[in-house]
Every structure is written in C-alpha cells, then in structure tokens.
Structure 1
Amino acid sequence: MQRISIAISLISILFCSTLTGALPEPEYGYDKDSGNGPEYWGDIKEAWADCKIGQTQSPIDLSSNCVQVIPELGSLVYWTYNPQYATVSNRGHDVAVEWGGGAGSIDIDGSPFFLIQAHWHWPSEHTIDGQRYDLELHMVHVSPQPDGTNKTAVVGILYNYGSPDPLLSKLEEYLMDIPQEDEEKSIGEIDPSEIMMGSTMFYRYIGSLTAPPCTEGIIWTIDKKIRTVSRIQVELLKNTVLEYYAIRTARPLQPLNERKIQLYVSKY
C-alpha cells in the first residue's frame, strides 16, 4: 500500500513539474550544450580551475586493460561502520544523507577516514569497461590533518535497474517531505554497513571531486559489485532536486593520463 501511495505521489510531482515556470540557471550544470556545462566549469570561477587544467580528474573508465590486480587494498574490506542517526537533505543539485558523527570509518594506509555523507548521481559517473550504469552512490569520508585541512576518500557504488535498493526504500517516504532546496528531514538510524554488504572486489585510484571545484587528491574506491535500484526510486531522486538537474548529474569521463588503477580481489 505504501509503494502505491508513493507511486501516486510521484505521478503528481511529474504532472505539476510541467506547470512550473522556467527557473534561474544554477552556477554549474551537466548539459554539454549549456554555457555552464562541464566543458566550461573551469572558466566560471578561478577557484574551479582544476575542472579545466587538472591532470588527475574524475570520473574515469575502469578498464580491465589498465588495472593492476593486487591481493590487498589497505584495510578497506574491514571497514567499521555503525548505525547512527542521520538526516536526508535536498541540496538542489542532489539528495544527500548526512551523519552527524559516529557512523564509522574506513582505513587507508593506516589512517581513518570518517564517513560524513552519501549522495547520488544519475546515470553513473564511473564506467567499467565502457559500460555506464543507471545510478551511482558516493560515500564521502574525511580524515582531519594536523594543519586543519581534510583529506577526502570516496567510495562509489554502482546500480542497474532491478529490485528496489534497501537504503532508498527507507528514504522514499522522506523524499516527499523535502521538495524544496535546502530542506532536510531526520530519518532515524541508518547503518552504512548495509550498503557495503557482500563486497569483495574494489577498484582504487587517485582522482578528484566530480563537481566544482573538482579538487584533486581524492582517494577513490569503486565497488565492483553492481547493485540494483528500482526505476521509481531513481525517479523519486530526480523529482526531489531542482528541475535543472533532473535529467542528468553525471560528469563526462576524464582522461586517465597514465594513472594507475588497482583492483583488489579477495581470496575469500
């Protein structure tokens, strides 16, 4: 019954969106034919120059011809996540789940990177051997440094259309309550470990943020396991954000520029 109600609400949103007038164009977008599309990000602001001149940009194609298979990948397979209270927010350009603290961490080269938020892109930004997927989740982690800055590590999860995603199933009813930019809603405890269950193979490379300011030095870890998400769940995400971002929020693939891609394959 709940899913029927959500479906009816989605139809209403789709209908109402056709009655909405034109909205102001955001600072950046994903339409290649627009003056603020990915090709022009680096020209919009000086602080976004890396989007244009950076040599280690993301996303990339994770090609089997370029990967180095290794038996271990730090301690990522032993991540420590905990159920923790979270909020879901409409950031205009995407939907994000944010943890206030205590949600756990991953370990990279002996340093803990603490999970702070997760958000989605449609379709996927990364591809595997040229194949693009229907959705990509980014789990953002930070590691505080002595100089007051943060190092950032992002875990990417890829999805194809199929059965509903358990995390989004928990969020469906809340997405209907945050139709405006900057609105947020408490969603109770969310266990990040449920997202990563069953993962045994991961790609690792050094890249950048996939949206302005395209900061480099980001440690990327992409789960090779492809999960499923329902079409209605993706439509709910699209119809929560600003109309300008509803069609696409995936940056085009970036040159590898001789970077190394490692593939961890578990023996267990």
Structure 2
Amino acid sequence: MVGSNQIHLGFIAFTFFLLFWDASPITASKFTNELGHPIEFEFGNGDRGPEHWGDLKKEWSTCKYGKLQSPIDLRDDIALKVKSTFDELSISYKPTKALMKNEGHAISVVWEGDAGGVMINGTEYILHQCHWHAPSEHTMNGIRYDAELHMIHKDKKNRVAVVGFLYKIGKPNPFISEVKKAISSMIKKPKQVPLGVIDPRKMKKAQKVHQDAAKRKMKKKTSKFYRYTGSYTTPPCTEGVTWTINKQVHTVSPSQVELLHKAVYKYAEMNSRPVQPLNYREVKLHGSSFVK
C-alpha cells in the first residue's frame, strides 16, 4: 500500500513538472523581445495591447480612464475654423548634433544640443526628439495614412507640445532617404547611431517642386493645421499634451515604410495606437502656415 502511494505521488509530481516545464518558455517568449528583454507593452490585440495598457500598471491607468486621449480622428466637419496669427505657431529650428536610437517600439532622432523649437501662444517649447509611427496614429476625415512623424517639444515646466506630420505612399521622403543607412544598421537592435549635425527643418519640408504654380499650390496646402489637447500615444498616456498636426499630407515610399516596420522590434512593427474618443473636446483648424 505504501509503495502504491509513493508511485501515485511520484506520478503527480512528474505531471506538474511537465506542465511547468512546457509553459515556462511560452510565458517568457510571449513578453520578451528578440534579445530576451522584457516587453512592458505591445501593439495589436495581444494581452499587452492598447486595450489593456491601463490594466498593466497602476501608473498607466490614464490609458484606460483618461478623457483627453490621443490619437483622434481629425474631422473638418466638426473642427472650429479659426484665422490664425503668428502667435499660435511660430517655428525657429536650428541645426545641431543628433543621435538616432532604436527604442524598441519606435525609431527616434534625439538632438544633443540646442535645436531650437516652437512658440505656441507665447510659450516656448524646445525640440528634444522626433520619431515615426507606421501606419499613422491620427486619422484625417476617417483616413489612416501610411506613416506619421512626431516632433516632441517641452517647455520650462516640462509641458509637452507635439508637432505631427502625416505621410501617404508616393515619392520617397528626403530625410528618411538621408538616414536610411543609419536606420538599416539598427534593425531589431538596441542601438544608437551618431548622425552628425541634423537640421530639424528638414523634417517638415516636402519634396522639391520645380514649377512655380505647383509651389504656390503647395504653400496654400501648408497653410492649415489642426490643434487640440490630448495625451501621449504610448503608456503612461499622460494628458495635457498640445497637439499640432499639419493638414498637408507629405509622401513616403513603400520601401521606406517597410524599413520603419523592420527596424523596430516585432511586437511594434505596426506601432500605432487606435483612435480614441473625442469626448467633446474642441479641435481647431487653423489657417496659419508651417512654411516661412
């Protein structure tokens, strides 16, 4: 009888060993990147996707309960049309040294020195970095574009202002072409690459247009931008961010979009948060221009 009990208990112990031995690698690989580093959040419909960000950490609860979340659908039919003055957006960027970094969920350019910034309603915001999302996070009149660039600024009180640009498939983006080699060198690697001196003004310039008529048409297109109050589009989803999105849609080539997908880690290859509820926020469509 004693021998029978020992065999029975031994079988139970062996069964539990098989269960845990089999489950451990699955659990580890599910929430780690290619190098085995922990993944705090991810995109898509997984257990750590956008729908669950607010449940993953207490300090990320704003992702779930916040009422001023980004991105949103920028719609002309509900936007308040206003005639802008120079005070509502003036840009004064300047060239300085920068690094390109693979942050896992996005490829970013980080300026090491004084790269200038923007002035919004009398407040100066200094440019710190920019990064790409593909596809776009904001939609415009219900249309999701192929990529979006975010230029991140902060004022003296650490308040954040983001200037964003949308991109559709077309001619190659000049700046991405310029740094293509640097992006390619960090595919799925936690790496940073010195870029030398980078002029932030390159980020907001469209392709060169040679015909005067086309130039006038482009200037007209760049004369409008959206403005609203939102949040970070990744955890902790902090609110109070001043968003400025250029209404003109620039272009990016299919190979450039593919490169942005390949460079980040697999869990972030489609690194865009879904559109969030507007919640009665005011969206303004300004008539000023980014182009000086």
Secondary structure (helix, strand or coil) at the match of 1:42 reads helix
Are the structure 2 counterparts of residues 92 and 103 from structure 1 closer, same or farther at C-alpha, using a change threshold of 3 Å?
same
In the alignment, structure 1 residue 31 sits paired with structure 2 residue 44: yes
Partner in structure 2 of residue 258 of structure 1: 280
In the alignment, structure 1 residue 202 sits paired with structure 2 residue 215: no
Say whether the 8 Å CA contact 1:141–1:153 is kept in structure 2: yes
Partner in structure 2 of residue 40 of structure 1: 52
Whose radius of gyration is greater, 1 or 2?
A: 2
Partner in structure 2 of residue 211 of structure 1: 234
Say whether the 8 Å CA contact 2:162–2:243 is kept in structure 1: yes
Deviation at 1:194, TM superposition (A): 2.3
In the TM superposition, what are the counterparts of 1:1-268 in structure 2 within 5 Å? 24=32, 26-32=39-45, 34-72=46-84, 75=87, 77-145=89-157, 150-197=158-205, 199-246=222-269, 248-266=270-288
Say whether the 8 Å CA contact 1:91–1:181 is kept in structure 2: no
Secondary structure (helix, strand or coil) at the match of 2:263 reads coil
Secondary structure (helix, strand or coil) at the match of 1:239 reads helix
Q: Deviations over 1:166-192 (max 9, x none)?
A: 110111011122234431001112111
TM-score (norm 2): 0.79
Deviation at 1:54, TM superposition (A): 0.1
Distance 1:249 1:179 in 2: 15
TM-score (norm 1): 0.86
Identity of aligned residues (%): 42
Distance 2:239 2:251 in 1: 30
Moved more, 188-197 or 206-215: 188-197
Say whether the 8 Å CA contact 2:134–2:260 is kept in structure 1: no
Q: Deviations over 1:9-53 (max 9, x none)?
A: xxxxxxxxxxxx987262211112x11111100000001000000
Higher strand share: 1
Aligned residues: 242
Q: For residue 31 of structure 1, what is the amino acid of its counterpart? A: G
Are the structure 2 counterparts of residues 128 and 249 from structure 1 closer, same or farther at C-alpha, using a change threshold of 3 Å?
same
Are the structure 2 counterparts of residues 22 and 36 from structure 1 closer, same or farther at C-alpha, using a change threshold of 3 Å?
closer
Distance 1:215 1:23 in 2: 23
Distance 2:178 2:104 in 1: 20
Are the structure 2 counterparts of residues 79 and 135 from structure 1 closer, same or farther at C-alpha, using a change threshold of 3 Å?
same
Are the structure 2 counterparts of residues 239 and 178 from structure 1 closer, same or farther at C-alpha, using a change threshold of 3 Å?
same
Q: For residue 124 of structure 2, what is the amino acid of its counterpart? A: P
Moved more, 229-238 or 207-216: 229-238
Deviation at 1:63, TM superposition (A): 0.8
Distance 1:60 1:210 in 2: 10
Moved more, 121-130 or 184-193: 184-193
Are the structure 2 counterparts of residues 55 and 23 from structure 1 closer, same or farther at C-alpha, using a change threshold of 3 Å?
closer
Q: For residue 35 of structure 1, what is the amino acid of its counterpart? A: D
Distance 1:212 1:202 in 2: 26
The ranges of structure 1 where at least 4 consecutive aligned residues each deviate by more than 3 angstroms after the TM superposition are: 73-77
Are the structure 2 counterparts of residues 63 and 172 from structure 1 closer, same or farther at C-alpha, using a change threshold of 3 Å?
same
Are the structure 2 counterparts of residues 50 and 237 from structure 1 closer, same or farther at C-alpha, using a change threshold of 3 Å?
same
Give 5+ residue unaligned stretches, structure 2.
Answer: 1-28, 34-38, 206-218
Secondary structure (helix, strand or coil) at the match of 1:139 reads strand
